């Protein structure tokens, strides 16, 4: 995977994230709204021209000092990921509905992960009356969130956004199973061969069958670490084969997971998603 900032694939003007993260050029999500494009750039590391990494002199412990735009990475008080409980005590406080349509997507190497950018209208999340549209899907290996201190083999992030600048990320854990997961194989193929187009993409089939999730208010897990992100993390992981996990590990160049952050006084609640086909 390239270590430099990814060249623009589709020509779009630089965009400004509403949470003060600066001007973000992003060509991979030209089919999404301008806000979704900027959100995608932030969540996958396309933040301006400042180079960052997960280790070393530009590693995650130094993100807050690399740029004024990245200050929240070290100064924020609601950062992600966090260590999640296996079962949250807090009663459900939100209504969450996920709709999706079978479509196709293109895989893109951002320099820090591989993402799939679907056609417009691939999926939408309704949370307490607010609608978020899917911008892209990417992965981290191993998982960024942990459960009772334990990490999973990988974590998949479906990044949603509203035209007004709100962001919601649906997280799905992945762990090693005994057979190939055919539903997730197009994503794995995209991770193995960035630039692949017309990959089958259907969110409803990719989510765990158990609709239970935990949610909390956090941040992007990559610079600029913008806070105010709604996190919805499914409790039950999907199963990928050892070969599929190995592809993601290779594409992550060892690892591309941020360390867990202090939970502070934030509330983690448990809910059940409504899946509408």
Q: Which of 255, 39, 230 is nearest to 144 (CA)?
A: 255
Residue 64's alpha-carbon distances to 20, 53, 70, 241, in angstroms, are 14, 12, 5, 37
Cβ atoms of residues 106 and 116 within 8 Å: yes
Instruction: Give yes or no: 87 in active site.
Output: no
Residue 33's alpha-carbon distances to 40, 159, 236, 272, in angstroms, are 10, 13, 30, 28
The helix/strand/coil state of 33 is: coil
Q: Is the C-alpha dihedral spanning 59, 83, 141, 41 positive or negative? A: negative
Cβ atoms of residues 211 and 236 within 8 Å: no
Which of 112, 140, 157, 230 is an active site residue? Answer: 112
3-state secondary structure 193-238: CCCCCCEEECHHHHCCCCCEEEEEEEECCCCCCCEEEEEEEECCCE
Residues with active-site annotation: 112
């Amino acid at each position: 995977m390239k270590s430099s900032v990814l060249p623009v694939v589709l020509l779009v003007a630089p965009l400004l994230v509403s949470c003060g993260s600066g001007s973000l050029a992003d060509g991979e999500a030209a089919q999404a709204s301008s806000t979704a494009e900027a959100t995608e750039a932030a969540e996958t590391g396309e933040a301006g021209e400042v180079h960052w990494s997960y280790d070393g002199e530009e590693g995650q412990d130094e993100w807050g000092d690399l740029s004024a735009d990245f200050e929240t990475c070290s100064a924020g008080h609601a950062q992600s990921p966090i260590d999640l409980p296996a079962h949250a005590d807090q009663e459900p406080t939100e209504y969450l509905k996920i709709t999706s349509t079978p479509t196709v997507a293109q895989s893109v190497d951002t320099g820090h992960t591989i993402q799939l950018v679907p056609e417009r209208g691939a999926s939408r999340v309704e949370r307490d009356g607010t609608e978020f549209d899917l911008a892209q899907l990417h992965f981290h290996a191993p998982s960024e969130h942990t459960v009772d201190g334990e990490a999973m083999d990988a974590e998949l992030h479906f990044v949603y956004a509203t035209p007004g600048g709100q962001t919601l990320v649906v997280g799905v854990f992945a762990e090693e199973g005994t057979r190939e997961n055919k539903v997730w194989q197009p994503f794995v193929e995209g991770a193995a061969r960035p630039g692949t187009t017309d990959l089958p993409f259907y969110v409803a089939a990719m989510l765990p069958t158990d609709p239970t999730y935990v949610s909390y208010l956090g941040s992007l897990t990559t610079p600029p670490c913008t806070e105010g992100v709604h996190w919805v993390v499914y409790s039950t992981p999907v199963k990928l084969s050892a070969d599929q996990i190995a592809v993601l590990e290779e594409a992550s160049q060892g690892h591309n997971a941020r360390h867990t952050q202090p939970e502070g006084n934030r509330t983690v609640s448990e809910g059940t998603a409504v899946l509408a086909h």
